[in-house]
Amino acid sequence: MVSLKDISVRCGVSIATVSKALNDHKDVSTQTKERIIKTAKEMGYFPNSQARALKTNRTYNLGVMFSDEAGRGLTHEFFAKVLNSFKTEAEQSGYDITFINKNIGGRKMSTYEHCRYRNVDGIVIICTDFSDPDVYEVINGELPVVTIDHIFECRSAVVSNNEAGMEELVKYVHSLGHTKLGFVQGKRSAVMEKRLGGFCKACMSLGLEIDQSKLVCAEYHSPQLTYEVTWKMMQQPDRPTCVFMPDDYSAIGGYNAIKDLGLRIPDDVSVVGYDGIEFCDYLSPMLTTYRQNTAEIGAQAARKLIAQIDNPTTTFTEVIIVEGEIREGGSVKPIN
């Protein structure tokens, strides 16, 4: 590994001068600084992260607290895209990321203890049980924190506008003539409450009856449960003309239930999803859905977290709301 001493010998200057040049100090001439930086690149020099941490009291490492209850992990397309965007933005600012868990080589520790063990500069919390005491330990700790799709009063958050998104989707379906709506909701969470609230709010503003028998519970990212509840809903005497699925991936189960009952999408019943994952472009017919802006969610979370680390006294706590958009497919039919 190339050291500062190696560069100093090659350039014929002191180690202190090399260090100042690489850290862009003012008391080194531009010509000398450029020569040292060029030499360092030619020699393949990389700063030692541990030495830099000791000097700056920073590791340039961000922790990621990510726990997918559906068991899909990073194969969950929505969260994978959010995390990829977060990672890209963090790397552009010179940061690495570390996934945080509770078990290090067989030794159990809390998430906050792991954050301290890894000496991360800050942490983002995404897709987890926000009622877990382990989460509250992190929230109440001293590290900078940003949450995604969940709001704590004392911490910054980046949230998709789930309530407004669902309102927009209901109004779109209604504009095509649908008044009998079915709603398959996910597991109880802040996201579920916002989406259900948006659905009910839009129905009331449009003068649509909210039929409790057509508000059913499944889980997010569960085609099997969505299949079961959709099957039962579609056997009601006065079945809905359009069914709202909990998310695009779960909509696969809804599609199969409808088709197994001998019904056609959208001729006999229309279907809409939520998320806008690419996978559902290949459903037949292509799913009409509300596409969340995963790139912006992840990037905003990284920017906010890094701002808290770089400028703690001038960065304020806020909730950043990210809008999405309707993506029209072929799963909704206009009716009279």
Q: How confident is the model at residue 330 (pLDDT cuts 50, 70, 90)?
A: very high
Across the range 33-61, mean pLDDT stands at: 75
pLDDT at 262: 96
pLDDT at 241: 96
Q: How confident is the model at residue 54 (pLDDT cuts 50, 70, 90)?
A: very low
39-43, 53-57, 144-148, 182-186: least confident range: 53-57
Q: Give the chain's mean pLDDT.
A: 89
CA nearest 45: which of 6, 10, 94?
6
For residue 23, pLDDT over 90 is answered with: no
Q: What domains can you pick out in the chain, each with its CATH number?
A: 4-47 (1.10.260.40), 61-160+295-324 (3.40.50.2300), 162-292 (3.40.50.2300)
Across the range 302-322, mean pLDDT stands at: 93
Q: How confident is the model at residue 304 (pLDDT cuts 50, 70, 90)?
A: very high
Query: Which ranges constitute the DSSP H helices of the chain?
Result: 4-11, 15-22, 30-43, 49-56, 77-92, 111-118, 133-139, 162-175, 190-205, 223-234, 251-260, 294-310
Report the C-alpha gap between 110 and 116 in whole angstroms: 10
> Do β-strands 145-148 and 156-160 pair in parallel, antiparallel, or remain unpaired?
parallel
Tokens describing residue 312: 């703690």
326 pairs with which residues across the strands?
290
**Torsion 131-134-138-141 (CA) sign:** positive
69 or 36, greater pLDDT: 36
Contact 271, 331 (CB under 8 A): yes
For residue 71, pLDDT over 80 is answered with: no
Using one digit for the tens of pLDDT, what is the confidence trace for 206-241?
A: 999 999 999 999 998 899 999 999 999 999 989 999
